[in-house]
Amino acid sequence: MGNLFRTGVLLAALTALFMGGGWLIGGGGGMLIALVVAAAGNLFAYWNADRIVLAAYDARPIARAEAPQLHDLVAGLARRAAIAMPRLYLIDSAQPNAFATGRDPEHAAVAVTRGLLASLDAAEVAAVVGHELSHVVHRDTLTMTLTATLAGAIGMLANFAFFLGPRQDERDAPLGMAARLLVAILAPLAALLVQMAISRTREYQADRHGAEISGDPLALATALGKIEAMVRRTAMADAERNPATTPLFIVNPLHRASLGRLFATHPATAERVRRLEAMAAARGIAGATGPHGPWSVRRTA
């Protein structure tokens, strides 16, 4: 309940930030327009955000015929999590990563990259999927997609404020041209800080519950370490073009050369690994217990 309350407050803060930007740019009329846009954006995101995010990464459905082992594993994990089998998607990227999306457990999707299946063994893949299913169980997927939509809208508002020239009705804006500069510079930064707060409160919970679903905290710890190391040397172009979506991923997908990595939307991977290792030690787990072996996804005609 504490996390739910904090998330609600943070989402309200994003909406207020969007409305405040509209007020600075256009006064009362601008704030009203921003409120309508924010409400419409949230409504649209509720029904369509999963399709928008999946399309942004050119994710394609994974048929059972091309990855039966993966389908069986995810189905088993979904049963353990007491949710419906999510739709599975593949992102054709060499960077190992994954995310979940969808408005509720009945309309959830899990997307994994080709790099994830090529770099991790079966136990680690199961642990990563368990983490994502935890987001589905706790409906974090809805929260994070709504947040990404609002953050993206705030970014558009900032661009609008920066590139729109002075108008005759600029006297309606409380600070005139200075308001445009404030919105253009500060609004995206404030939105990013709110995203960071929302994501960080969710990742530790998803790590813990995801490890319970997969039954292997150490496999998740190892997977996180591998993903973090490879993200730092493998760029994902779609993530660089859509930075508002980065909190959805299990590890921040932005390359280390990107300015976006200066503002981490995820807790430090080292701390996440430490907590998982402590969880394993408390349960007397000395090594990975899940299935091992290579993964492959073959294309079907």
pLDDT in tens, 164-181: 544 444 445 554 555 555
125 vs 289, higher pLDDT: 125
> Is 299 among the domain residues?
no
Tens of pLDDT along 134-147?
999 998 887 776 67
Domain membership of residue 301 (yes or no) is no
Strand order in the sheet with 109-113: 60-61, 87-91, 109-113, 98-101
The total number of residues written for the chain in this structure = 301
Question: Is residue 287 assigned to a domain?
Answer: no
Residue 2 has pLDDT above 60, yes or no: no
Among 124, 132, 203, 228, which one carries the catalytic annotation? 132
Residue 154, domain member (yes or no): yes
Domain membership flag for residue 300 = no
Say how many domains are in the chain.
1
pLDDT at 139: 86
Tell which wins on pLDDT, 159 or 162: 159
**Would residue 47 count as lying in a domain?**
yes
> Does residue 264 or residue 263 have the better pLDDT?
264
Domain contains 214: yes
| Known catalytic membership, residue 212 | no
Q: Is residue 59 part of a domain?
A: yes
Interatomic CA distance for residues 133 and 86, integer angstroms: 9
Res 79: pLDDT: 97
Q: Residues with Cβ < 8 Å from 27, sequence gap 6 or more?
A: 172, 173, 174
87-112, pLDDT tens digit by residue?
999 999 999 999 999 888 999 999 99
Read off the amino acid at residue 169: D
Q: Coil, strand or helix: which one is 164?
A: coil
Range of lowest pLDDT (17-31, 175-189, 225-239)? 175-189
DSSP category for residue 63? -
* Structural domain boundaries, residue 272: 2-282
Lowest mean pLDDT among 57-71, 113-127, 182-196, 241-255: 182-196
